[in-house]
């Protein structure tokens, strides 16, 4: 992509499926990644980073599977600065029509001394060798100087210049730990544009983390100084406190076009549906006062504000809710609604479902409609997770359960599970409460002992007949696994979620060992 074509346009590089998925509790299976990738394509992002293929066999397969089915955006995957990673990434992206290799190597003094144990000269040599090798396979190669914001500007400029000479087409300057502030970061971008030969021939990119809450501000300050690619994620999810939020940086550039003078290709009316889709897939809920896509983003309660809105909406709103896809009204479905209406509504909510998935969802919808007077969008979003959930065959499935609980009574539960090998196993247990008793009975049947790390119950919609969504996390060995389920019966939802978590633990792929020729850390934090 030439710099001429991006002079007045900012490339949106979405890393929700790579850096975003590294957020604790945000892991996605292949089917879920495909749904998010389809939504990102429809949103209009320029580059989708699909994952880190060398991290595990599961991640490799997910990247390869999605790369086969998505057309339009450039599809990207991450690799460390070594041949093994680059070869693995090439294999994962082979089917993509437009592909990019994203190669990274740390450059800061801290990383050079304690993580890499390499001198400046060794870092330059490794970076150059990796980019040259990558260009033998990829026309589009992006190089990231990990922890660039804490790297000596002179050395950072040297690294950038040398990898440009080696063939890099995009240079990314990450604030990997969210340490910098806007004036400092913009000064670094200005310094590089002035001192790096050939930088006018490549795209200058930024990737900011939110540890101090400055990811969006830092990214915007870099755009003002000439950066023309922003790496970001939906809802700002990512390592630790997250990344630059796509919806915030995009709407800032659009709303303040008078200041920045640049545009993006994002279809902003798809922002809210995409945000909701990701929340439903990952279980990471958006805070009510979140900018752009939060529930309160366009809500006005104060009397003075309400009066101003009645006189002129511009008094207290700098954007229209419709511009980001906020619904003007809720479509309420009931037991008399048909498949056509359901399919149309799911499409409007950002889901791309096959006919078989619609049929299964329609059955569940009808069952729910019999128990609830009205079925809202949030109910549909909660139901659909079962049809974009695990594509692998589950080891155990909840067949039935019963509980006895009450004041002065020891809570007990009887549970029946079926296994893929045809077994039907039943057992009972006592617990501190009905949910604990159910969990203990499930552990007895499966023979798996885990520690419950977190357990949350949220109401999907309002009303006495609302569905409850249970999100939990268990620890088995040194790893954690999530489970989620919805039901009008909270104990049933808890049981389904617990079984899902145990099934994930059973089929969890092993993490591949680090290559002896690779950068020591497997963590992809550029």
* Alpha carbon of residue 170 to chain centroid: 23
What's the start-to-end Cα distance of the chain, in Å?
Answer: 22
Contact status, residue 19 vs residue 49, Cβ threshold 8 Å = yes
For the record, the structure tokens of 258 come out as 């008078």
Counted residue by residue, the chain has a size of 526
Map residue 465 onto helix, strand or coil: coil
For the record, the structure tokens of 411 come out as 């809570």
Q: What does the alpha-carbon distance between residue 506 and residue 511 come to, in Å, rounded to a whole number?
A: 14
Residue 405's nearest CA partner among 427, 432, 428 is 432
Give the ranges where 256-395 is alpha helix by DSSP (H): 257-260, 271-282, 303-311, 339-348, 355-371, 377-384
Q: What is the pTM of this model?
A: 0.78
Q: Is 298 exposed, middle or buried (0-12, 13-18, 19+ CB in 10 A)?
A: middle
For the record, the structure tokens of 142 come out as 């992006």
Q: What are phi and psi of 416, to 5 degrees?
A: -125, 125
Residue 468's nearest CA partner among 438, 489, 495 is 489
For the record, the structure tokens of 491 come out as 């104990």
What domains, with CATH codes, occur in the chain?
A: 4-282 (3.20.20.70), 298-324 (no CATH), 339-384 (no CATH), 396-507 (3.30.160.270)
Which residues 6+ apart lie within 8 Å of 159 measured at CB? 107, 123, 124, 127, 145, 151
Q: Is 221 exposed, middle or buried (0-12, 13-18, 19+ CB in 10 A)?
A: buried
Give the ranges where 312-354 is alpha helix by DSSP (H): 339-348
Q: Output the pLDDT for position 404.
A: 94
Helix (H) or strand (E) holding 377, with range, is helix 377-384
Question: How is residue 421 annotated by DSSP?
Answer: T
Angle between helices 153-166 and 182-195 (to 10 degrees): 50
Contact status, residue 81 vs residue 103, Cβ threshold 8 Å = yes
Q: Output the pLDDT for position 387.
A: 64
Helix (H) or strand (E) holding 11, with range, is strand 11-14
Q: Output the pLDDT for position 329.
A: 44
**CB atoms closer than 10 angstroms to residue 43:** 26
Report how far apart, in Å, the C-alpha atoms of 460 and of each of 158, 283, 352, 381, 435 are: 53, 12, 22, 9, 19
Q: Output the pLDDT for position 292.
A: 95
Beta strand residue intervals within 192-302, DSSP E = 203-208, 229-232
Q: Output the pLDDT for position 241.
A: 95
Q: What does the alpha-carbon distance between residue 136 and residue 113 come to, in Å, rounded to a whole number?
A: 31
In a structure prediction context, what are the per-residue pLDDT tens digits for the chain, which is 526 residues long? 444 456 799 999 999 999 998 877 778 889 899 999 999 999 999 999 999 999 999 899 999 999 999 999 999 999 999 999 999 999 999 999 999 999 999 999 999 999 999 999 999 999 999 999 999 999 999 999 999 999 999 999 999 999 999 999 999 999 999 999 999 999 999 999 999 999 999 999 999 999 999 999 999 999 999 999 999 999 999 999 999 999 999 999 999 999 999 999 999 999 999 999 999 888 888 988 999 998 788 775 455 555 565 576 677 788 988 999 986 545 567 777 778 888 888 887 888 888 888 888 888 888 888 877 678 777 888 788 766 655 455 689 999 999 999 988 999 999 999 998 999 999 999 999 999 999 999 999 999 999 999 999 988 777 677 788 898 989 988 788 888 888 889 999 999 999 989 988 887 655 444 443 333 344 565 6
Map residue 322 onto helix, strand or coil: helix
Q: Output the pLDDT for position 109.
A: 98
Residue 103's nearest CA partner among 95, 113, 93 is 93
Q: What does the alpha-carbon distance between residue 202 and residue 482 come to, in Å, rounded to a whole number?
A: 41
**CB atoms closer than 10 angstroms to residue 199:** 19
Q: What does the alpha-carbon distance between residue 78 and residue 398 come to, in Å, rounded to a whole number?
A: 38
Residue 234's nearest CA partner among 460, 59, 471, 40 is 40
């Amino acid at each position: 992509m030439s710099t001429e074509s991006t002079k007045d346009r900012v490339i949106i590089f979405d890393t929700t499926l790579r850096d975003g998925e590294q957020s604790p509790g945000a892991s996605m299976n292949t089917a879920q990644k495909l749904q998010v990738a389809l939504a990102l394509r429809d949103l209009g992002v320029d580059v989708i980073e699909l994952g880190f293929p060398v991290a595990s066999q599961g991640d490799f397969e997910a990247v390869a599977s999605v790369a086969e089915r998505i057309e339009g955006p450039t599809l990207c995957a991450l690799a460390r600065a070594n041949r093994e990673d680059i070869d693995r990434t090439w294999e994962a992206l082979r089917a993509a029509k437009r592909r990019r290799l994203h190669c990274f190597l740390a450059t800061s003094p801290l990383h050079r001394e304690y993580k890499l144990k390499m001198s400046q000269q060794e870092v330059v040599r490794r970076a150059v060798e990796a980019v040259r090798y990558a260009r033998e396979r990829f026309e589009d190669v992006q190089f990231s100087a990990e922890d660039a914001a804490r790297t000596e500007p002179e050395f950072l400029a040297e690294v950038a210049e040398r990898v440009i000479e080696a063939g890099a087409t995009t240079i990314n300057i990450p604030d990997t730990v969210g340490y910098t502030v806007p004036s400092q970061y913009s000064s670094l971008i200005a310094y590089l544009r002035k001192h790096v030969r050939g930088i006018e021939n490549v795209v200058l990119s930024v990737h900011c983390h939110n540890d101090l809450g400055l990811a969006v501000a830092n990214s915007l300050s870099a755009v003002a100084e000439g950066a023309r690619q922003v790496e970001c994620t939906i809802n700002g999810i990512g390592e630790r406190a997250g990344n630059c939020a796509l919806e915030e940086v995009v709407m800032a550039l659009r709303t303040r076009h008078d200041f920045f003078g640049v545009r993006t290709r994002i279809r902003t009316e798809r922002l809210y549906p995409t945000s909701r889709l990701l929340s439903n897939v990952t279980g990471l809920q958006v805070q009510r006062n979140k900018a752009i896509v939060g529930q309160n983003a366009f809500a006005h309660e104060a009397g003075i504000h309400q009066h101003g809105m009645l006189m002129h909406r511009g008094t207290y709103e700098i954007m229209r809710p419709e511009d980001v896809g906020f619904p003007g009204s809720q479509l309420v479905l009931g037991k008399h609604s048909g498949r056509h209406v359901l399919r149309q509504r799911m499409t409007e909510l950002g889901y791309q479902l096959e006919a078989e998935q619609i049929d299964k969802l329609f059955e569940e919808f009808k069952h729910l409609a019999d128990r609830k007077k009205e079925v809202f969008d949030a109910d549909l979003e909660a139901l659909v997770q079962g049809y974009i959930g695990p594509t692998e065959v589950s080891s155990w499935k909840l067949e039935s359960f019963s509980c006895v609980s009450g004041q002065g009574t020891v809570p007990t539960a009887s549970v029946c599970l079926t296994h893929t090998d045809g077994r039907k196993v039943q057992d009972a247990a006592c617990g501190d409460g009905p949910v604990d008793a159910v969990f203990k009975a499930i552990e007895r049947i499966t023979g798996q002992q885990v520690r419950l790390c977190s357990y949350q119950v949220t109401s999907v919609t309002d009303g006495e007949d609302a569905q409850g969504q249970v999100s939990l996390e268990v620890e088995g060995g040194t790893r954690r696994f999530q489970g989620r389920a919805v039901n009008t019966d909270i104990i049933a939802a808890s049981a389904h979620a617990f079984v899902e978590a145990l099934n994930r633990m059973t089929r969890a792929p092993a993490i591949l060992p680090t290559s002896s020729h690779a950068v020591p850390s497997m963590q992809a934090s550029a």
